[in-house]
Amino acid sequence: QGGAVTLAAGLRRSEPLAGLVALSTYLPLGTDALARLDDTPEAARGQPVFVAHGRFDPVVPFAAGEDAARRLRALGFDVDFHAYPMQHQVCLEEIEAVRGWLDARLVSGSAAR
């Protein structure tokens, strides 16, 4: 549930982080998510979001990850969505994508705060 906690807490920040990483997760705000996210501080919307999900995930359906990315994009978040041929797990390709995404934000200093 780390991804759900990351999204629930990160999307409400008044001081943005360098980015949010949400793996094999969902947007944990219920059916009124869009209404509540409309109250998201403008600074929080500047946080880039990395979302990845396994296409065959039996724990959190793939559609939930896709829906989270779609809803966040609709609210103006910069979402980088990745799908992998796996279940509820991680794979080397996903780890490498997260590493590259983090490097671009932290190592280069482009998003370091």
Distance between CA 92 and CA 105 in Å, rounded? Answer: 20
Domain residue limits at 48: 2-107
Q: What tokens appear for 78 in the block?
A: 């910069």
Task: Please check whether residue 69 lies inside any domain of the structure.
Answer: yes
Q: What tokens appear for 26 in the block?
A: 């969902």
- Burial of residue 13 (CB within 10 Å: 0-12, 13-18, 19+) is middle
Task: Please check whether residue 64 lies inside any domain of the structure.
Answer: yes
Task: Please check whether residue 113 lies inside any domain of the structure.
Answer: no
More confident of the two residues 80 and 34: 80
Task: Please check whether residue 20 lies inside any domain of the structure.
Answer: yes
More confident of the two residues 38 and 21: 21
Query: How many domains does the chain contain in total?
Result: 1
CATH at residue 20: 3.40.50.1820
Mean pLDDT of 66-89: 94
pLDDT at residue 113, as a whole number: 43
Mean pLDDT of 31-48: 71
Q: Taking the model in full, what pTM does it have?
A: 0.86
